[in-house]
Amino acid sequence: MLERMRSRLLLTTGALLLTLSACGGGDEPAPDPQHKDGASNVAVVNPLTGIKLAKAPKNPVFVVKIDNTPPSAPQTEIDKADLVVEQLVEGGATRLAALYYSKLPENVGHVRSMRATDIGIAKPVNGQIVASGGAGVTISRIKSAGIPIHSEDGGSPGLSRGPGYAPYNVLANLKTVNEEAVNTPPAHAYFQWAAANATTPTGTKASNVSVPFSRSHTTTFSFQNGTWKRTNGTSEKEFAAKNLVVLWADEQDAGYTDPAGSPVPETVFDGTGKAVVFVGKNRIDGTWKKAGKGATIVLTAKDGTEFKLPAGSTWIELLSKSQAGELTVN
C-alpha cells in the first residue's frame, strides 16, 4: 500500500514539474507564436490620431511626399492616411506629406521629391520618408537628422512608374516599401491628444475655410457630414479630417533653386507661432509651440490655457508667416 501511494505521489510531482517547465518557469508569459515580437499584440495609441489600436503595427510611420499640382492629378489613397500636412514649396505651390501608420495602401501617389521641411514633419514619430528623390543638399540634411529615406532615385522597392508622364507618375506600394524598412516605433505623439469626445475651448462656428498659402495657391475646405474635406483638391477620395489645424511658422531659404530658378523655401517646423484650430465646426484661435523638430505640438488658446486635440484624423496646414494671407472663414 505504501509503495503504491509513493508511486502515485512521484507521478503527480513529475507531471507538475513538466507543466511548470512548459510554461517557461512561470516568470514571463510565452510570446504569441504567431508574432515574432510579443509587443505586437499589445494595444497601443496611434501617435498620429490619438486612437487606440488593437496591436502595434509591424511597420514604422511612412511620410509619403505627394504632388499637389494639376499635372499629377488624381491623387490616390490619401484618404487612407492617418494625418496629412500641406506645406509650401517653390513658386508658391504646395505639396502634401501624408503620414501612414495604421494602414499601408498599395497605390499611393503621385509621389514627388522631399524637402528640408520634412525633417520637422517626420521627426516626432520617427517617420521614414517615401519620395521620388530630392536635391543633394536636402538628402544630406535629412540623413544627418537620422531619418531613413525610401526613394525611386535610390532604387528602393515599392516605388514604380504608373500611367502618365514623368515626373508626375510615381506610385508607392507601402507594403512593399515596408519589406526593407527597419520597424522603428514612433518616438512621440504628434499632438497632445484627448478623448475623441473631449471638450475644447469654445470659439466661433465655421463651415467653410479658405487657406491662402501664397499669392498663387489657396486651399479651401468645407465641413461635410461631420468632417473637414478639401473642396478644390484632386484626390480620387478626399481625406476626411475631424480636426483642421492651421499653423503659421517661420520660413528660411533652403539653400538652392529648382530647375526653373525659383528659390526653394523651407518652413521651419519648430518654435512657435499663430494657430487656428477647427474641431468640428468650432474655431479656436491661439498659438502653437514645438520645442524642437522632434517634439510634440502643444496648442494654447487665446486665454493662455493649453488644450488637447480630440482624438481623430487631422489635416495640418503649415503656412509661412511671410507668404500666407489671412484666412477666410464663414
pLDDT, tens digit, 9 for 90 and up, residues 44-72? 999 999 999 999 999 999 999 999 999 99
Cell of 298: 502643444
Percent of the chain with pLDDT over 90: 82
- Report CA dihedral (203, 208, 213, 216) to the nearest 10 degrees: -160
- β-strands 208-212, 328-329: how paired? antiparallel
- pLDDT by residue for the chain (330 residues), tens only, comes to 434 444 443 334 443 333 333 333 333 333 332 233 334 556 799 999 999 999 999 999 999 999 999 999 999 999 999 999 999 999 999 999 999 999 999 999 999 999 999 999 999 999 999 999 999 999 999 999 999 999 999 999 999 999 889 999 999 999 999 999 999 999 999 999 999 989 899 899 999 999 999 999 999 999 999 999 999 999 999 999 999 999 999 999 998 988 888 889 999 999 999 999 999 999 999 999 999 999 999 999 999 999 999 999 999 999 999 999 999 999
Quick one: how far is CA 235 from the chain centroid?
18
Cis status of the peptide bond prior to 74, with omega within 30 of 0: yes
Q: What domains, with CATH codes, occur in the chain?
A: 39-325 (3.50.90.10)
Which residues is 314 bridged to in the sheet?
A: 83, 243
HSE-CB of 5 using CA atoms within 13 angstroms: 2
Residue 247's nearest CA partner among 131, 141, 130, 327 is 327
